[in-house]
Amino acid sequence: MNMRFENNIFYCEVQENLTAINIKTMMDKVKAVIEASADDFETMKIDLSKAQSIDSLGITFLISTYKSLVTKNKKMILYKVPDSIRQLFKIMKLDEAFQIED
């Protein structure tokens, strides 16, 4: 996962699928940055363009990240979401909870 700060935005570029195999490492990294650097950004943007699949732990990661940000009055935006994942979000009504951009 590539991460950077730019203009009050915390960018996360997911480099792999959001699945049980690799989600723990991603979760730990993101949680550490949110806890240590919450004052450095207003919005977190997560680029999902390289994620071709997501499982229940990946969804849990996104929901828990969203909740962590909300408690700190921050926004989360998902962008470049592949159609397959976008359709899953729609079925689960997560497209109503998450802000999704192209």
| Structure confidence at residue 102 (pLDDT) | 85
| 11-27 residue pLDDT tens | 999 999 999 998 999 99
Strand pairing category for 43-47 and 75-79: parallel
Q: Distances in Å between the alpha carbon of 97 and those of 2, 24, 34, 92?
A: 24, 23, 20, 10
How is domain 2-101 classified at the CATH fold level? Transcription Regulator spoIIAA (3.30.750)
pTM for the full predicted model: 0.92
pLDDT per residue over 13-66, tens digit each? 999 999 999 899 999 999 999 999 988 999 999 999 999 999 999 999 999 999
pLDDT, residue 10, reads 96
